Amino acid sequence: MFHGTWGYLHVPDKQLIDEFDPDDFSLKRYQTAIKDSADMKVQPAWFLPDKDASLHFREVLKSQITKVLLGCIATPSDKKQKLRTVPPPINPIAVKKPDISMFKLMIASDNSTEGVGEVLEGFLRQMNLTSEEFYS
Q: How many structural domains comprise the chain? A: 1
Task: Judge whether residue 55 has pLDDT over 90.
Answer: yes
Are 88 and 60 contacting, i.e. CB atoms less than 8 angstroms apart?
Answer: yes
What is the tens place of the pLDDT at every residue in 41-54?
A: 999 999 999 999 99
Higher pLDDT, 24 or 127: 24
Q: Is residue 113 part of a domain?
A: no
Residue 56's domain comprises 6-105
Q: Is residue 134 part of a domain?
A: no
Task: Judge whether residue 34 has pLDDT over 90.
Answer: yes
Q: Is residue 82 part of a domain?
A: yes
Q: Is residue 71 part of a domain?
A: yes
Q: Is residue 88 part of a domain?
A: yes
Distance CA 17, CA 76 (A): 47
Q: Is residue 133 part of a domain?
A: no
What is the tens place of the pLDDT at every residue in 20-30?
A: 998 998 999 99
Q: Is residue 86 part of a domain?
A: yes
* pTM value > 0.85: no
Q: Is residue 83 part of a domain?
A: yes
